[in-house]
């Protein structure tokens, strides 16, 4: 595949010294390093994948490095987001990441986008870069990144992580499939837990993030065999990497022969259905606040509080008196026989999405006065008992 960028005119003496271990690799050499110097790479997200990706892209001498993130550094990020440190807690991630990049390599021109990537800015921002590294953790943004990249004709390096499992690929519609060819539809809401819900082994981020940087460098310099049309699957417990072929789908609505998606979707959140329609319907008029739950408990109401999260989440923090029945038991129906007929059912989860899904099932089973707690245990900690830990 041809190199993505033309070489810069020259390297300075400082640059030659700094990058000497690259320069003596014949495949990289002067020409490759000059291409990296001229390269403009955007990293979407300065989180688990963005952290190692930005650190190594900076060290490698990518001339212009953009970082977009709207979030601030939280203590629970530090277990894996190694570009941030203790003193960065509370600081915008984009700024904290940019400071680390400058410390590693002052020759890099860092562009800070301290904002959310949205339909309104994604095309304009992407158009300023040669290559995108996608380190996002949610499906709505992934589809938006893919659609924008395909519409702009740009390649991007995708990665995803969950517990001990990681995946990576390069999507470049001009030369291979796009993300929609691999995953035509987002998973049903609530089916695939996020890292916040399911956890992730910190070092897994480095394994996948480094694959992403490796592919980025190959694409920029035109060396090796990029991960276009292949999906890399990493299992940290078995310790193996597999790669499977991903074919371009000729019927792909975005990059196929007769595309029906010719511009960004209006609403990616809705496309990915953050909460299903059934759940939204069930929750409407049947959502209480954490403070309301507390007052019901305090006055001794006849309620049955059910935590639908997973056991390890329950162990970290739970609402006093809540009984643990994980969501899976509602999905397979086994939870229903455990529900008391003479008490009002109150469901909660971490933030309210899973409990809304379960609420729909419970109401369908005839518990018409059941409710769920909007904002879940996170809202309980925030508004009722801030001494409890969050995750």
What are the DSSP E strand ranges found in the chain?
40-44, 64-68, 109-113, 131-134, 156-162, 165-171, 230-235, 240-245, 287-288, 303-307, 323-324, 344-348, 371-373
- Contact criterion met (CB below 8 Å) for 175 and 248: no
Choice from 23, 98, 252, 275 touching Zn ion (CB under 5 A):
252
Q: Output the CA torsion 369→375→378→379 (10° steps).
A: -80
Task: Choose, by CB under 5 A, the member of 180, 218, 354, 363 that binds Zn ion.
Answer: 180
- 8-state DSSP, 8: P
Which is nearer to Zn ion, 145 or 325 (by Cβ)? Answer: 145
Instruction: Please state, in angstroms and rounded to a whole number, the distance separating the CA atoms of residues 198 and 312.
Output: 9
CA distance 239 to 352: 35
Residue 100-139 contact track with Zn ion, rule CB under 5 A, x = bound: ----------------------------------------
Instruction: From 126-134, 251-259, 303-311, 345-353, give the range in contact with Zn ion by CB under 5 A.
Output: 251-259
Point out which span in 129-137, 174-182, 277-285, 343-351 binds Zn ion (CB under 5 A): 174-182
Active site residue 195: yes
Closest CA to 179 of 108, 254, 128, 129: 254
Closest to Zn ion by CB, 183 vs 296, is 183
| Stretch touching Zn ion by CB under 5 A, among 66-74, 181-189, 199-207, 326-334 | 181-189
Under the binding rule (CB under 5 A), the answer on residue 151 touching Zn ion is no
- Residue whose CB is less far from Zn ion, 65 or 144: 144
Q: Where are the beta strands (DSSP E) in 191-343?
A: 230-235, 240-245, 287-288, 303-307, 323-324
Q: Taking the complex as a whole, how short is the minimal distance between the CB of residue 252 and Zn ion, in angstroms?
A: 3
3-state secondary structure of 383: helix
CB of 3 to Zn ion, least distance (A): 24
Site size for Zn ion, by CB under 5 A?
6
Query: How far is 34 from 112, CA to CA, in rounded Å?
Result: 23
In this complex, which beta carbon is closest to Zn ion, that of residue 143 or of residue 380?
143
Q: Which is nearer to Zn ion, 150 or 308 (CB)?
A: 150
**Distance (Å, whole) CA 307 – CA 321:** 10
Question: Candidates 124-132, 179-187, 346-354, 360-368 — which segment interacts with Zn ion by CB under 5 A?
Answer: 179-187
Q: Which of 110, 140, 255, 371 binds Zn ion (CB under 5 A)?
A: 255
In the complex, the smallest distance separating the C-beta of residue 66 from Zn ion, rounded to whole angstroms, is 25
Q: What is the DSSP letter of 266?
A: S
Instruction: Provide the residue count of the chain.
Output: 391
| Binding segment (CB under 5 A) for Zn ion, from list 58-66, 110-118, 173-181, 321-329 | 173-181
- Among 26, 3, 108, 93, smallest CA distance to 61 is for 108
- Least distance in angstroms from the C-beta of 146 to Zn ion: 8
Sign of CA dihedral 13, 15, 20, 23: negative
Tokens describing residue 389: 């830990």
- CB contact at 8 A, 359 and 279: yes
DSSP symbols for 74-138: -GGGTTT-TTS-GGGTTSBHHHHHHHHHHHH-TTSEEEEE-S---TTTHHHHHTT-SEEEE---S
Q: Could you give the strand order of the β-sheet that contains 287-288, starting from the edge strand earlier in sequence?
A: 287-288, 371-373, 344-348, 303-307, 323-324
Least distance (Å) between residue 145 CB and Zn ion: 13
Q: Which is nearer to Zn ion, 94 or 255 (CB)?
A: 255
| Contact characters 23-62, Zn ion, x per CB under 5 A | ----------------------------------------
Residue 240 CB, nearest approach to Zn ion (Å): 28
Indicate which residue of 43, 178, 181, 195 is catalytic: 195
* From candidates 170, 181, 322, 362, binder to Zn ion by CB under 5 A: 181
Applying CB under 5 A, among 67, 140, 168, 178 the residue interacting with Zn ion is 178
Q: Active-site residue 43, yes or no? A: no
Span near Zn ion by CB under 5 A; candidates 135-143, 248-256, 311-319, 338-346: 248-256
**Shortest Cβ contact with Zn ion: which residue?**
252
Binding residues vs Zn ion (CB under 5 A) = 178, 180-181, 252, 254-255
Q: Which are the catalytic amino acids? A: 195, 349
């Amino acid at each position: 595949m041809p190199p993505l960028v033309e070489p810069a005119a020259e390297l300075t003496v400082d640059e030659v010294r700094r990058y000497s271990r690259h320069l003596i690799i014949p495949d990289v050499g002067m020409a490759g390093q000059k291409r990296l110097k001229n390269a403009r790479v955007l990293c979407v997200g300065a989180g688990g994948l963005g952290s190692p990706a930005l650190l190594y892209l900076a060290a490698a001498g990518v001339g212009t490095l953009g970082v977009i993130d709207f979030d601030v550094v939280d203590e629970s990020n530090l277990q894996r987001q190694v570009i941030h440190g203790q003193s960065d807690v509370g600081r915008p991630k984009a700024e904290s990441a940019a400071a680390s990049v400058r410390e590693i390599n002052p020759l890099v021109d860092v562009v800070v986008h301290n904002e959310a990537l949205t339909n309104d800015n994604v095309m304009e921002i992407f158009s300023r870069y040669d290559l995108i590294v996608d380190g996002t953790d949610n499906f709505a943004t992934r589809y938006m990144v893919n659609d924008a990249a395909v519409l702009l004709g740009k390649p991007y390096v995708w990665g995803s992580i969950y517990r001990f499992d990681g995946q990576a690929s390069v999507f470049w519609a001009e030369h291979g499939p796009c993300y929609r060819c691999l995953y035509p539809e987002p998973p049903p809401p609530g089916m695939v837990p996020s890292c916040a819900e399911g956890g992730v082994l910190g070092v897994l981020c480095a394994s996948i993030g480094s694959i992403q940087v490796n592919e980025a460098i190959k694409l920029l310099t035109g060396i090796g065999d990029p991960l276009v049309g292949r999906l890399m699957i990493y299992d940290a417990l078995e310790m193996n990497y597999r790669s499977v072929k991903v074919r371009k789908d000729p019927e792909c609505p975005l990059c196929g022969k007769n595309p029906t998606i010719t511009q960004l979707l209006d609403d990616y959140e809705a496309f990915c259905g953050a909460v299903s329609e059934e759940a939204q319907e069930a929750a409407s008029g049947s959502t209480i606040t954490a403070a309301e739950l507390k007052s019901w408990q305090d006055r001794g109401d006849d309620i049955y509080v059910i935590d639908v999260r997973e056991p390890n989440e329950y162990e970290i923090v739970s609402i006093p008196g809540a009984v643990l029945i994980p969501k899976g038991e509602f999905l397979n129906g086994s939870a229903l026989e455990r529900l008391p007929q003479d008490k009002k059912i109150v469901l909660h989860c971490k933030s309210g999405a899973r409990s809304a899904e379960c609420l729909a099932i419970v109401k369908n089973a005839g518990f018409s006065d059941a409710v769920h707690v909007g904002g879940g245990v996170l809202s309980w900690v925030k508004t009722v008992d801030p001494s409890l830990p969050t995750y």
